[in-house]
């Protein structure tokens, strides 16, 4: 079960990053060029929200079946925090990814309440870009490219 979930989680992440990058760039471009907010923009924001939430659910299941999770009972929290690999997989990656998905959710929710295009794009640009930067900061790149 673990290898299958890890495979799905790793490859779904490509989709999440691509869609989030497109949505963030679209929001920045829309904000700076005073573009009119339309159905395509809404769909991009919504698709980013949906793919990131699916990734989060897959990641949460993976977190509890992963061999790294056993480290908490074997070496304790102090041991996990001393080992950079264990800390990345057990603390940093999950925590930062949850924060990123929360930011995407907040940005999506706040943008729906705005009535005009410029504030909609501004909210999406801020929240989606911060979420993208956070995600990129905590991806285990050395493992991801070797997968």
- Give the pLDDT confidence of 24-73 residue by residue, as tens digits: 999 999 999 999 999 999 999 999 999 999 999 999 999 888 887 777 77
**H or E element in which residue 36 lies:** none
Distance CA 41, CA 12 (A): 22
- Beta carbons of 5 and 55 less than 8 angstroms apart: no
pLDDT of residue 80: 80
pLDDT of residue 105: 97
Closest to 20 in 3D by CA, of 122, 109, 129, 113 = 129
> Would the pLDDT of 3 be above 90?
no
> Would the pLDDT of 78 be above 60?
yes
- Beta carbons of 131 and 98 less than 8 angstroms apart: no
- Specify the 3-state DSSP secondary structure of 100: helix
pLDDT of residue 82: 87
pLDDT of residue 147: 55
Question: Which of 27-36, 73-82, 84-93 is the most confident on average?
Answer: 27-36
> pLDDT above 70 covers what percent of the chain?
97
Higher pLDDT, 119 or 77: 119
């Amino acid at each position: 079960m673990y290898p299958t979930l890890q495979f799905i989680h790793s490859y779904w992440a490509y989709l999440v990053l691509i869609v989030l990058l497109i949505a963030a760039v679209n929001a920045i471009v829309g904000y700076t060029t005073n573009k009119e907010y339309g159905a395509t923009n809404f769909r991009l924001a919504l698709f980013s929200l949906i793919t990131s939430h699916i990734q989060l659910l897959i990641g949460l299941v993976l977190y509890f079946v992963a061999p790294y999770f056993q480290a908490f009972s074997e070496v304790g929290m102090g041991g996990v925090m001393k080992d950079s690999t264990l800390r990345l997989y057990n603390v940093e990656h999950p925590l930062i990814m949850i924060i990123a998905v929360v930011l995407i959710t907040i940005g999506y929710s706040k943008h729906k309440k705005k009535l005009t295009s410029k504030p909609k794009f501004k909210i999406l640009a801020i929240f989606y870009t911060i979420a993208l930067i956070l995600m990129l900061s905590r991806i285990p790149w050395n493992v991801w490219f070797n997968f």
